[in-house]
Amino acid sequence: MATIQSVSRSPPLKVAVIGAGLIGPRHAQSVISNPSTELVALVEPSPNGSSIAASLKTTHYASITDLLTSPHKPDVAIICTPNHTHVPLSLELISAGIHILVEKPISTTLSSGLSLISAAKAQDIQLLVGHHRRFNPYLLSTKQGLSSNTLGKIIAVQGTWCLLKPASYFEGIGSWRQSSESGETTKSRRFDAEEGAAILMRFKSGVVGTFILSDAVPSPWNFETGTGENPNIPKVEGVDGFYRIMGTKGSLSVPDLTRWSYEEGATGKVGWNQSLKKEQLKVEEEKVPFDFQVQHFVDVVRDGKEPSCTGEEALRALVVCEAVKKAMKCGLPVEIDGFEIRERGKV
């Protein structure tokens, strides 16, 4: 596990984790391991909340109301609850003057997301949205490779996320995931919520792309299996190309971080009659994204650092998801203009 280097001249930030499902305890462990933060409470209304809090050596509360009237009122909170609760719980914490890191998605609707962003700004509250893969070492190495222009002008991208989520993922405290009301629209073979899609994309830059996703098939072609990021999902060594980025000077596959290109000959010309050169980008695999995200949260609250993922950026991600759902429903291409989604050719 990576060590977070931090020089703290102030008392640790008091942190409450809201929600003890799959992701909450992972956030809590990162809080515990950081010298700049102290886990003061876990809020979880389900019967197993107290035992999870005990395993984390922190105090358990059944509600945010109970937390805010307790001796353990936090400086900041990390919200890890079902999607539809993100906005109301965030607003409750904001009204109490507590800075928040809210898990993705920021909201389930554009209007509620905008209301959350406005409330945080009005109360001078720092709002960070938990897109933790911005801190993943594989993506950091990929971004560094792109920034160095070794691929030239990007032409196209491909992505795949296919894995079999067990029935238990959708049961118990995860039963909210079964409902189409939580954000999906089409039917699946197991639940009312959609389990897969094939997506065609064209970016403003002109780059085109495809993405295949499914929650219902055994496959190594997904982020967790390929990188080992999630300790609950076994890593498979040698997975290549769940992401592929193709440019005029070369192509890059992720997570193996293999760059393919041609070497210029004496004429300076390159093409398919030449042998491809293969090289590997370096990756610092020991970096733990959740650990670095918690430290970033500290830097945002303490030092005013710009959030890695602002409310506005998180809302753009939500809009893209809504656009995909709209295209699936209407069977037509849709366009995104700012936060507006419309069928192509319609004003």
**pLDDT tens digits, one per residue of 26-79:** 999 999 999 999 999 999 999 999 999 999 999 999 999 999 999 999 999 999
Which carries the bigger pLDDT value, residue 147 or residue 102?
102
Domain shared by 260 and 158, yes or no: yes
Rounded distance between C-alpha atoms, residue 27 and residue 41, angstroms? 12
Dihedral sign (CA 236, 240, 241, 246)? positive
Strand, coil or helix: 86 = helix
Query: How many structural domains are present in the chain?
Result: 2
Q: Considering only CA atoms, which of 229, 260, 244, 13 is closest in space to residue 134?
A: 229
Which domain covers residue 19, as residue numbers? 13-134+289-318
Strand, coil or helix: 143 = helix
pLDDT of 186 = 34
Half-sphere exposure of residue 162: CA atoms within 13 angstroms, side-chain side:
16
Would you give the DSSP letter of residue 236? -
Q: Considering only CA atoms, which of 90, 32, 6, 64 is closest in space to residue 302?
A: 6
* Assigned domain for 117 exists: yes
Domain shared by 153 and 209, yes or no: yes
| 9 confidence band (pLDDT: 50, 70, 90) | low
pLDDT tens figures, 153-189? 999 999 999 999 887 777 676 665 556 544 433 345 5
* Assigned domain for 197 exists: yes
Domain shared by 98 and 172, yes or no: no
pLDDT, mean of residues 180-199: 57
CATH number at 185 reads: 3.30.360.10
pLDDT of 273 = 83
Domain shared by 104 and 86, yes or no: yes
* Assigned domain for 314 exists: yes
pLDDT of 346 = 60
| 329 confidence band (pLDDT: 50, 70, 90) | confident
Rounded distance between C-alpha atoms, residue 122 and residue 95, angstroms? 10
pLDDT, mean of residues 7-25: 88
Would you give the DSSP letter of residue 273? T
Phi, psi of 170 (to 5 degrees): -105, 10
pLDDT, mean of residues 133-138: 94
Looking only at the bridges linking them, the beta strands covering 276-280 and 99-103 are: unpaired
Domain shared by 66 and 24, yes or no: yes
CATH number at 48 reads: 3.40.50.720
Instruction: Report the percentage of the chain scoring pLDDT > 70.
Output: 88
| 328 confidence band (pLDDT: 50, 70, 90) | confident
pLDDT of 267 = 64
pTM comes to 0.84
Rounded distance between C-alpha atoms, residue 147 and residue 294, angstroms? 25
* Assigned domain for 2 exists: no
pLDDT, mean of residues 12-28: 96
Domain shared by 104 and 195, yes or no: no
pLDDT tens figures, 216-267? 899 999 999 999 998 889 999 999 899 999 999 999 999 999 999 998 765 6
Q: Which amino acid is at 26?
A: R
pLDDT of 232 = 87
Would you give the DSSP letter of residue 306? P
User: Mean pLDDT for the chain?
Assistant: 89
Rg, the chain, Cα only: 22
Do 165 and 179 touch, CB atoms closer than 8 A? Answer: no
* Assigned domain for 330 exists: no
Domain shared by 92 and 154, yes or no: no
Domain shared by 154 and 130, yes or no: no
pLDDT of 155 = 97
Torsion angle of the four alpha carbons 84, 90, 93, 94, in this order, in degrees rounded to the nearest 10:
-150
Domain shared by 54 and 39, yes or no: yes
pLDDT tens figures, 65-96? 999 999 999 999 999 999 999 999 999 999 99
pLDDT(193) > 70: no
Domain shared by 198 and 114, yes or no: no
* Assigned domain for 156 exists: yes
Domain shared by 143 and 207, yes or no: yes
| 123 confidence band (pLDDT: 50, 70, 90) | very high
Domain shared by 23 and 102, yes or no: yes
pLDDT, mean of residues 141-156: 93
* Assigned domain for 345 exists: no
* Assigned domain for 339 exists: no
pLDDT of 1 = 45
